Amino acid sequence: MSNYNQYDQCDNDNVTYTFIKDIVLDPSNIKEHYVIDDNCEYGYRLFTESEYDNYENYRSFREMIRKLHFDYFYIMYKIILPETLEYADGLDMTIDVVGWLKNDDEDKIFNMYALSIVNEIIDEYEDYINDIVTNTTAKRLAINKLKRNKIVNNGIILKISMMRCGLF
């Protein structure tokens, strides 16, 4: 994510959501971190508790904010922190967030904020995520390409069709 030009049109209120949405919808992150498991509490492992030590996303976020001259303190303490505290309250983790705040662990606060909006993003882009997880788009394209191929249609597919209908 070294190119931050796509965030030029964002304002303070939606730049964080857009940044996290881009991380969540990155195909490589979906393949690596998306979980299709009803026993999994979150469904997306990138921002879960085991990943709180993941500093890379936060560092990219800070760099993007700096390069585009956004007000970091406004975003961090007026947008991210209140959402994080509200989410943490539902998980009985408010004391943890306050401890992170005291220790300047803003990366952990950022990750918890990201975790709080991941489900919303997943619900909104469910079809896109499922296409990447199951790789249906590539399969569909390959099958359609084969269907358009005259040699395949007159060769193997014709023989399979004849075999299935009992003529072969």
Q: Within 13 A of 41's CA, how many CA atoms are on the CB side?
A: 8
- Please state, in angstroms and rounded to a whole number, the distance separating the CA atoms of residues 166 and 39: 46
Residue showing tokens 């961090």: 76
- Please state, in angstroms and rounded to a whole number, the distance separating the CA atoms of residues 81 and 70: 16
% of residues, the chain, pLDDT over 70: 76
Q: How confident is the model at residue 59 (pLDDT cuts 50, 70, 90)?
A: confident
**Total H helices, total E strands in the chain:** 11, 0
The pTM for the full model equals 0.68
- The per-residue pLDDT for range 116-144, each reduced to its tens digit, is 888 788 788 877 777 777 776 667 777 77
Mean pLDDT of 162-166: 78
